[in-house]
Chains A and B, each alone.
Chain A
Amino acid sequence: MKQKLTKWRLLTVFGLLTLVLSGCGEPFLSTLIPAGEAGQIAYDLMILSTVIMVGVVIVVSIMFAVAVIKFRRKKGDESIPKQVEGSHVLEIVWTVIPILLLIILAIPTVIATFDLADTKAMDKKNEDGTTDALVVNVRASLYWWEFEYPNEGIITSQDLVVPTDQKVYFSVKASDVKHSFWIPAAGGKIDTNVDNINKIWLEFDNEKAAEAGNIFYGKCAELCGPSHALMDFKVKAIPQDEFDQWVTAMQSVEESTPTDPEAAAGQEIFNQKCLSCHAVTAADERPEQARLAPNLTNFGDRELVAGILEHNEEEVKNWLADPEKYKPGNKMTGTYGELSDQELDQLAAYLMGLKVEQ
């Protein structure tokens, strides 16, 4: 019964909202177009609270408008209105009604709070230490994201890849200052603390993912420095079988020299200047303190360069020539000296060739 009522309410308000808004933002970014269960729980609660609160605003506004219009002082009216002290009945009414409204809101709030915090599946370890649930360790660093799949033994950066239609569990932390991990369309955010690991789950519906072009935007939601605004990442939500292919492809990547001579020259420069921080294989054995920069195994498959620039060789070169221009305060600037135009061409060719997808 209650559910029915909520559903009915949802419909009306959804209609109203669409009218008012004439759109709820972009499906790859907006919290108003939830992409999965976690987002839906938050969204339902948002709608429920909005309905109650819009109701309150309307009631108050009407009472108030009537009072203001009806009791205007007429010109030359010097009469003294009746001095009313108060009314116990009225006061009880407007104490009890809000309490009832709040109880209606509080119960689903508490239920949803516990639902969203349920990450028990992460603790159910098999004998070899892996879990049946898909777990991703998220590590936020100044202006980039690392995603480690401990069960699969692979690491990627910037583009999170997840299978649709199943719960994905995240354990998040930060390596320098506090950030916050947020995929608005998929659900609420969780802070990546420097002190401890936080856990959260999200889920991506296959259909919703398809509507959004299988790509969602992720954001950093906690002020972390000059380029906080540019600390974006992308989420590729793909069906389970494609995800499995991707994992296999990632696992099988080994260091090899590209056939293209330009790219091969690029690799040489890369090994000299970049490899001490970056990596090009998904199975990076170094401890996380040594992983100072994004893993570039599948750089060629990325959606954007550095999370913000269009994905083409030209932008790669721009970025490499002067990262400070695009992400002020980043940690890469000045770590590898000047690059000549030729070196830039070679590096870009090498990097764009780092692909695992066919």
Chain B
Amino acid sequence: MSTIAQTQKRGFAGTVWEYLTTVDHKKIAILYLIAGGFFFLIGGIEAMMIRIQLAVPNNDFVSAGLFNEIITMHGTTMIFLAAMPLLFAFMNAVMPLQIGARDVAFPFINALGFWLFFFGGLFLNLSWFLGGAPDAGWTSYASLSLASEGHGIDFYVLGLQISGFGTLMGGINFLVTIINMRAPGMTYMRMPLFTWTTFVASALILFAFPPLTVGLFMMMFDRMFGSGFFDVAMGGNTIIWEHFFWIFGHPEVYILILPAFGIFSEIFPTFARKRLFGYSSMVFATVLIGFLGFMVWAHHMFTTGMGPIANAIFAVATMAIAVPTGIKIFNWILTIWGGSIQFTVPMIYAISFIPSFVMGGVTGVMQAAAPADYQFHDSYFIVAHFHYVIVGGIVLALLAGCHFYWPLMFGTMLSEKLGKVTFALFFTGFHLTFFIQHFLGLMGMPRRVWTFLPGQGLETGNLISSIGAAFMAAGVIIFLFNVVMTQVKNVQVGKDPWKDGRTLEWAIPSPTPFYNFKQLPLVRGLDAYWIEKLEGKTEMTPAEPVGDIHMPNNSFVPFVISLGLFIAAFGAMYQVDDKAWAIPVLIIGMGVTFGAMLFRSIKDDHGYHIHKEDLLDDADKGGTR
């Protein structure tokens, strides 16, 4: 049928339209990758400005107010707009293929999730041009954020609210996909670890984002509509915000790190040619980490004055998380033990991840000791700790994932040579930047300081840290160069480019057909493709005869729904200034959103079918697109 032919040739405008309306998880993955990558660069530039400002005492590279805006946006951007979307990119690109699905459960919702995130992120970053960015830190503690002048915090509240809805939808979508869409034979205990971690992270999203939503609503009402949740004079209480933020914020850490663990759990077995050691205990540990992640939020608030009983309970609960995390670390080491290790770029990242992350993990346990945390809290020790976890865990995973899954997403292979240069620069820079910060904190440097005075013994450490940051920046630039070069050369590498692929995603022809699997594969055990390869086969055994495939239609509606909220947010924000146009804009925006939802609800969308004959034709030509 024409649908296959349609996907083959398109002009530039056609491609743009395709991406604006796509509901294909593989294309949405690319959208997430591009948007997340873009925000990652913005966050990185902000990071560089922070380090330049703090390179020497009494520096005046940026002003005090601007510095607070930069740190706030650096944290917010990196967590919400870079790390999460980039992980979502891999979840979208890989997870449906890993479980042998033709698509996710809700392709439409998948697209909606992306556009909500994108417009939320865009809205947040527009604050730079519209009177100043938020300046109360990414935690935006209530007393300061209510006192903050201008619209910065409004951008934070509304932008995160919009992108948060998108994330929530993505989470539900992945949960249902994994439960309902697995290929025949893909039992829960045969699912690859990346799928498992996606599953647990999605469950965390489902239960962690509503408290943030409520907190953001209350902040929005307080700032824009005159309520008194956090206004002590009206009987409000600012500590409520702290609780909600961290009830969300702590699981958020695991939402980020679990998929990162998942990526490494795929890389280790592949390049050690050995199955994951202790698969079932890895799954158990993942679930346990997810569960405990909800029990420990108040360890971010040891100095808030909750009293010794609460502090002691949360201290002990926090320490408990070290146990399942330890299990994971040892399982990874035992996976490569006795294996045959090939030092590809993804594997180098994976190997360097272990000591880096362990260092971040152990400082986490140190902070769990509440009385010691009274000293660590809000000092540079904390900054060092969470960068060790986030950069040493998540960013290394993202870089590893880029190299590892690039062939799956784009059909090309990133340069190994440049990849190693990037690694060397980034890894050196990372330790140089953050290791010394532990000691800066212990020597009495509070975090979020715009400058520091000379004569306090803090000069050398800060200078070293700033030099390290430059190395990291250089690494990222070379990585970008690598991406551009690879795509310009466009050398297609074909199926199973790493040769040692173990899971279903590597069993598909490259580039991946838009319907993923012509016939759903029959899964016969963990590492399904590896099992077939050991028996000398090159393809999966099909679980069904070739038949018609039902596909969803593209839709522009997700874009419109998100755009409506984007417009409404401006109205909600500027009605505070009594601008005459604000309320109408708010109404129009909400009208666009609800109108689009109504349209979606009223207009039937049954999708279309790819017919059997076309599929057979297609197979003769060898792949599509």
Q: Do chains A and B touch in the complex (CB under 8 A)?
A: yes
Residues of A within 8 A of B (CB): 21, 23-26, 29-32, 39, 41-43, 45-46, 49-50, 53-54, 56-57, 60-61, 63-64, 67-68, 71-73, 77, 79-87, 90-91, 94-95, 98-99, 102, 105-106, 108-110, 112-117, 174, 176-178, 180, 182, 184-185, 187-191, 193-196, 198-199, 217, 219-230, 232, 308, 328-329
Q: How far is the CA of A132 from the CA of B371 in the complex (A)?
A: 26
Shortest distance in angstroms between A25's beta carbon and chain B's nearest beta carbon? 3
- A195 lies within 8 A of B453 (CB): no
Q: Is the CB of B238 within 8 A of A193?
A: yes
The residue that B308 contacts in the complex, of A99, A113, A222, with Cβ under 8 A, is: A113
Q: List chain A residues, Cβ under 8 A from B366.
A: 46, 49-50, 53
Interface residue? B600 (CB, 8 A): no
Q: With A86-B281, A95-B323, A102-B323 in contact, is A189–B375 under 8 Å at CB? A: yes
With A188-B303, A225-B68 given, is the CB distance from A110 to B336 under 8 Å?
Answer: no
Q: Which residues of A contact B443 (CB under 8 A)?
A: 24-26, 29-32, 184
Chain B residue at smallest Cβ distance from A190:
B303
Residues B375 and A31 in contact, CB atoms below 8 Å apart: yes
Contact A223 B448, beta carbon cutoff 8 Å: yes
Give Cα distance in the complex from A189 to B342, angstroms: 49
For chain B, residues 349 to 371, give those with C-beta under 8 angstroms from any C-beta of chain A: 351, 354-355, 358-359, 362-363, 365-366, 368-371
Interface residues contributed by chain B, number (CB under 8 Å): 90
A95→B325 CA distance, assembly (Å): 10
8 Å CB interface, B242-277 against A:
272-275, 277
Give Cα A32 to B333, complex, Å.
34
Interface string of B330-360 (1 = CB under 8 A from A): 1101101111111100000001001100110
A240 → chain B closest CB, angstroms: 26
A187 contacts B326, CB within 8 Å?
no
Which residue of chain A is the closest to B269 with respect to CB atoms? Answer: A83
Other-chain contact of A71, B311, B341, B453 (Cβ < 8 Å): B341
Residues of A within 8 Å of B144, CB to CB, are 177-178, 223-225
20 A-B contacts (beta carbon < 8 Å)? A23-B457, A24-B442, A29-B457, A46-B372, A46-B375, A60-B358, A71-B338, A71-B341, A73-B273, A81-B339, A83-B274, A85-B279, A86-B280, A90-B278, A94-B327, A106-B316, A191-B304, A193-B238, A222-B378, A228-B449
Q: A343 CA to B160 CA in the complex, in Å?
A: 51
Q: Are B303 and A226 in contact (CB under 8 A)?
A: no
Q: Are B448 and A228 in contact (CB under 8 A)?
A: yes
- Chain A residues lying within 8 Å of B320, measured Cβ to Cβ, are 102
B622 CB within 8 Å of chain A: no
B605 CB to closest chain A CB, in angstroms? 46
CA distance A227 to B453 in the complex (A): 13
Interface window among B29-37, B135-143, B191-199, B399-407:
B135-143
B446:A221 contact, CB within 8 angstroms: yes
On whether the beta carbons of A84 and B315 are closer than 8 Å, the reply is no
Q: Is B456 an interface residue (CB 8 A)?
A: yes
A105, A116, A180 pick with most chain B CB within 10 angstroms: A105
Q: In the complex the two chains form, what is the Cα distance from A57 to B444 in whole Å? A: 25
Whether B128 is near chain A, meaning CB under 8 Å from some CB there, is: no
Q: Given A81-B272, A82-B338, A110-B316, check contact A45 B371 (CB 8 Å).
A: yes
In this complex, what residue of A is CB-closest to B305?
A: A198
* Residues of chain A within 8 A of B354, CB atoms compared: 60, 64
The answer to whether B379 has its CB under 8 Å from any CB of chain A is yes
| Smallest Cβ-Cβ distance to B324: which chain A residue | A95
Decide yes or no whether B451 CB sits under 8 A from chain A: yes
The residues of B that contact A49 with a CB separation of less than 8 Å are 365-366, 369, 372
Considering the complex of A and B, which 3 residue pairs feature the smallest CB-CB distances, nearest first?
Answer: A188-B374, A25-B443, A229-B449
If A46-B372, A71-B339 touch, does A180 touch B333 (CB 8 Å cutoff)?
Answer: no
Complex alpha-carbon distance, A41 and B370, angstroms: 11
Bound-state CA distance A53–B323 (Å) is: 13
- Is B336 within 8 A of A182, CB to CB? no
User: In the complex the two chains form, what is the Cα distance from A232 to B453 in whole Å?
Assistant: 10
Complex: A227 Cα to B342 Cα, angstroms: 52
Known: A95-B326, A188-B373, A199-B305. 17 other contacts (CB 8 A): A25-B439, A30-B442, A42-B374, A53-B365, A53-B366, A61-B355, A68-B351, A71-B339, A81-B273, A102-B365, A113-B312, A182-B446, A188-B375, A189-B378, A191-B305, A221-B446, A224-B144
Give the residue of A85, A217, A223 whose beta carbon is less than 8 angstroms from that of B275: A85
Q: Are the CB atoms of B341 and A178 closer together than 8 Å?
A: no
Residue of B274, B319, B355 near A60 (CB, 8 A) is B355
Residue of A nearest to B377 (CB): A189
Contact in complex: A221, B377 (CB < 8 Å): yes
- Please give the distance in Å from B300's CB to the nearest CB on chain A: 12
A195 vs B67: C-alpha distance in the bound complex, in angstroms?
28
Q: Which of B143, B239, B351, B444 has the most CB of A within 10 A?
A: B444
Q: Are A195 and B239 in contact (CB under 8 A)?
A: yes
- Minimum distance in angstroms from B444 CB to a CB of chain A: 4
Give Cα A99–Cα B305 distance, bound, in whole angstroms: 28
Give the shortest distance, in Å, between A106 (CB) and chain B (any CB): 5
What chain B residues lie within 8 Å of A114 (beta carbons)? 308, 312
B541 to chain A, nearest CB (A): 20
Does B602 make an interface contact (CB < 8 A)?
no
Cα distance A114–B329 when bound, in Å? 33
Assembly CA distance A222 to B446 (angstroms): 8
Contact, CB under 8 Å: B322 / A71? no
| Chain A residues whose CB sits within 8 angstroms of the CB of B428 once the complex forms | none
| Alpha-carbon distance between A196 and B236 when the two chains are bound, in angstroms | 12
Partner of A29, one of B64, B362, B375, B444: B444
Q: Do A98 and B322 form a contact, CB below 8 Å, given A26-B456, A180-B378?
A: yes
Is there an interface contact between B308 and A105, defined as CB atoms closer than 8 Å? Answer: no
Indicate if the CB atoms of B457 and A81 lie closer than 8 Å. no
Q: Does B237 contact A (CB under 8 A)?
A: yes
Q: Which B residues are in CB contact (< 8 Å) with A63?
A: 333
Task: Indicate if the CB atoms of B63 and A328 lie closer than 8 Å.
Answer: yes
| Most chain A CB inside 10 Å of its own CB: which residue of B237, B311, B336, B340 | B340
- Which residue on chain A has the smallest CB distance to residue B355? A61
Cβ contacts under 8 Å, A117 to chain B: 307-308, 311
Selected contact of A102 from candidates B311, B319, B359, CB within 8 Å: B319
- Complex contacts, A31 vs chain B, CB 8 Å: 375, 379, 442-444
A64–B316 CB distance below 8 A: no
Residues facing A in B464-494 (CB within 8 A) are none
- Given the interface contacts A81-B273, A222-B378, does A72 sit within 8 Å of B343 by beta carbon? yes
Q: Which residues of A contact B448 (CB under 8 A)?
A: 223, 228-229
Residues of A within 8 Å of B303, CB to CB, are 180, 188-191, 221
The distance in angstroms between the C-alpha atoms of A26 and B439, with both chains bound, is 12
